[in-house]
Amino acid sequence: MRLSSILLTVFALVSTGLADKSCTPSFDYCSDVLIESKGFTEADLEDVLKGTDLENEDVKNVLFHCTNPGIVGHPKLCSSGCKDPAIEGSHHCDG
């Protein structure tokens, strides 16, 4: 019974996407990269903005900093949009 509970918990984590989130600590990411290739959802990123002065901003206009593998924070508003350069981790605000 115990093993089945563990397996059920692991399945729940995988199916909700919690186990799939990954980012490189100290790197900055635009929301589209986090959503398209790092396992985050738009709802995840909106949760990061809750309680900040960026709570009502569109996640597409925010630069997120990876603090630990799978955890983002320190949102920064990119008033001219977030730019995705070819090299991972060097994302920055446009303009």
Query: How far, in Å, CA of 40 to CA of 32, rounded?
Result: 9
Domain limits, the chain: 21-93
Bridge partner residues of 80 (DSSP): none
Q: What is the pLDDT of residue 89?
A: 67
**Do 90 and 79 contact (CB within 8 A), yes or no?**
no
Q: What is the pLDDT of residue 6?
A: 40
Structure pTM?
A: 0.75
Q: What is the pLDDT along the chain (95 residues), one digit of tens a residue?
A: 454 444 333 344 444 445 589 999 999 999 999 999 999 999 999 999 999 999 999 999 999 999 999 999 999 999 888 887 777 766 678 65
Instruction: Please choose, from the candidates 25, 45, 48, the residue with its C-alpha nearest in 3D space to the C-alpha of residue 33.
Output: 45
3-state helix, strand, coil in the chain (%, to 5): 40, 25, 40
